[in-house]
Amino acid sequence: MNEPVKQLIDAVIATHAALRTQKPLVQCLTNAVSSNFMANVLLAAGAAPAMVDNPEEAAAFVQVASAVLVNLGTPTAAQVEAMRLAVKAAHSVGRPWVLDPIGAGGLSWRGAVAAELLAYRPTVIRGNASEIIGLAGLGSSSRGFDSSNDPADAVAAARELLAHSAAVSASGPVDHVVGTHEGQIRLFRIAGGSALLPRVTATGCSLGALVAAYTAVAASPVLALITAHVHFALAAEQAQTVAKGPGSFMPAFVDALDAVDAEQIAQHARIDSIELES
């Protein structure tokens, strides 16, 4: 392991420890399908969930939240209004917030909503490759977590989205994270995970919530993204060893999120990094 990678893994270990110590409170404005599983993922990882997504309370709750997640999976008019209020409040008080632009590239109404929310500069944008490409305006394919695009195809779109956000990730068999690290725009690739992840609903959405939790404790947005992806990948690998299929994978994955520790990260995290041309 070369020294820069070792230093990055040490930073991931420290960020993971900070999450467990600080237990950030994540306000989740998310879709109906993901809410319960997302809350359990956050609790298992060491954070705390708050599913406050109504217009009457969304902005006020930002004041006490550590970070905010906005997930466009099943938006209603009322929820979208709550999202507008929440991100405006987050932007105003400097609270980190994450945009998960589900379907933004393939459905015009939510695409317009996502474009509107970008004006409030999400700290991080997290999606699958097709969503990142769609959000950047480079394509229109968007199928949810089970994306037909390779994350490598989304690097150019992620670079473009850095005009709106500090760091961007595209999930897949190898997760791709783009952001500024030590004064350079870099691409980080995180290997691992499990083929069972896209066969269980709300795993990608829950990764977005975990990213939000890490934005509250990490030294930088790109480090928050990297740590969340590493934590998720290692937990999925561990769960796969005991799961018999998608049904048993779900509880095993929640257990594994709780079990990931510094030793596991040091021994099994697989990260590489390259500088991207300016």
For residue 259, pLDDT beyond 80: yes
- For 121-172, what is each residue's pLDDT tens digit? 999 999 999 899 989 984 444 444 334 578 888 999 999 999 999 999 999 9
- For 30-67, what is each residue's pLDDT tens digit? 999 999 999 999 999 999 999 999 999 999 999 999 99
- Mean pLDDT, range 185-189, rounded to an integer: 95
What count of other Cβ atoms lies within 10 Å of the Cβ of residue 252? 22
In this structure, what token pair is assigned to residue 177? 């994270």
Q: What are phi and psi of 200, to 5 degrees?
A: -120, 130
Domains with residue ranges and CATH for the chain: 3-275 (3.40.1190.20)
Confidence (pLDDT) at 255: 98
